[in-house]
Amino acid sequence: MSSRPYIVGNWKMHGTRAMLSEARAIDRAAQRHMKVEVAIAPPYTLIHPVHREAEQIAVGAQDCHEQEGGAFTGEISAAMIADAGAKFVILGHSERRTHHGESDALVRAKADAALAAGLRVIMCCGESAKTREMGRAVAFVKKQLKASLPPQIESAAEKLSVAYEPIWAVGTGNAATPDNIAEMHGVIRALLVSLYGEEQGAKVRILYGGSVTPGNAAEILSVDGVDGALVGGASLTADSFMGIALAATEADDS
Ligand code: 13P
């Protein structure tokens, strides 16, 4: 692993204030794993409470609106998220692309808005089972990412991460194989370099997501080109999430 491993929890639509104790426990444990950068993206309603509790971990959001403000009932802007204490936002998650019909162009507009508001961005990409079966996974991910990422990032490469999350691996208990992951992360790195140039393209972190658990994290995180993990179900308890952070420490030492 190149840089400090980046382990991010996506709580999805899970968590009420009762889960603040879990966030606190993650934060305390993260203070013992300083070689790993740990972050969580709880639902909007918990961003500020978690931010107030957290001393070590960064807090982020799972989406934002592409406009700065206005008559958009029910929406939340990047600046509002930042104001609540968020440092990053996950964008283009397959659940939003599928259930909310988010296009690549919309995801790109959200990324522009988020970066302009000073947030870091974790840009998700990944193919469906059908696309993989047709042998089109690489072509699909390249096209999706090219259309979703900001065309230019100037010197903001450190603010950008890409998460490769094959849809068939999300929430299924069926993580991608090390070979699948190594191949796709290589493809993504080459794309980033072609888009942003050698220096900036090399700085963007590439995370893997999809059924990462404390049991498989060490193997996944030691795959070439994996800079961290985006974790769903296993990020909901401090025990399992920090099991993954511990695996990241070990993968980094090996
Ligand atoms: P799981 O870890 O539950 O498979 O979810 C992955 C994910 O969607 C993270 O964004």
Q: According to the model, what pLDDT value does residue 155 have?
A: 76
Task: Tell me, yes or no, whether 121 lies in a domain.
Answer: yes
Task: Tell me, yes or no, whether 123 lies in a domain.
Answer: yes
Q: Give the residue numbers spanning the domain of 81.
A: 6-253
pLDDT higher than 70, residue 2: no
Name residues whose C-beta falls within 8 Å of residue 187's C-beta, 6 or more positions apart in sequence.
Answer: 138, 141, 142
Measure 166 CA to ligand 1 centroid, in angstroms: 10
Of the residues 11, 62, 162, 165, which should be mutated to test ligand 1's pocket, given the most ligand atoms within 8 Å of the CB?
165
pLDDT higher than 70, residue 253: no
Residues labelled as active-site residues: 93, 165
Q: What is the pLDDT of residues 208-247, one digit of tens each?
A: 999 999 999 999 999 999 999 999 999 999 999 999 999 9
**Closest ligand 1 atom to Cα of 94:** 8
Name residues whose C-beta falls within 8 Å of residue 163's C-beta, 6 or more positions apart in sequence.
Answer: 8, 90, 122, 123, 124, 125, 206, 207, 208, 209, 230
Q: What is the pLDDT of residues 79-99, one digit of tens each?
A: 999 999 999 999 999 999 999
Q: What is the pTM of this model?
A: 0.97
Please count the structural domains in the chain. Answer: 1
Q: What is the pLDDT of residues 16-34, one digit of tens each?
A: 999 999 999 999 999 998 9
The span from the CA of 23 to the CA of 174, in Å, is 26
Task: Tell me, yes or no, whether 1 lies in a domain.
Answer: no
pLDDT higher than 90, residue 38: yes
Q: What is the pLDDT of residues 96-141, one digit of tens each?
A: 999 999 999 999 999 999 999 999 999 999 999 999 999 999 999 9
Task: Tell me, yes or no, whether 19 lies in a domain.
Answer: yes
For residue 42, the domain's CATH number is 3.20.20.70
Average per-residue pLDDT for the chain: 96
Q: According to the model, what pLDDT value does residue 254 have?
A: 61
The strand pairing partners of 209, in sequence order, are 230
Q: What is the pLDDT of residues 153-209, one digit of tens each?
A: 887 899 999 999 999 999 999 999 999 999 999 999 999 999 999 999 999 999 999
**Residue list, ligand 1 pocket, CB within 6 Å:** 10, 93, 165, 170-171, 209-212, 230-234
| 147 closest CA partner among 191, 94, 86 | 191
**152 pLDDT tier (thresholds 50, 70, 90):** confident
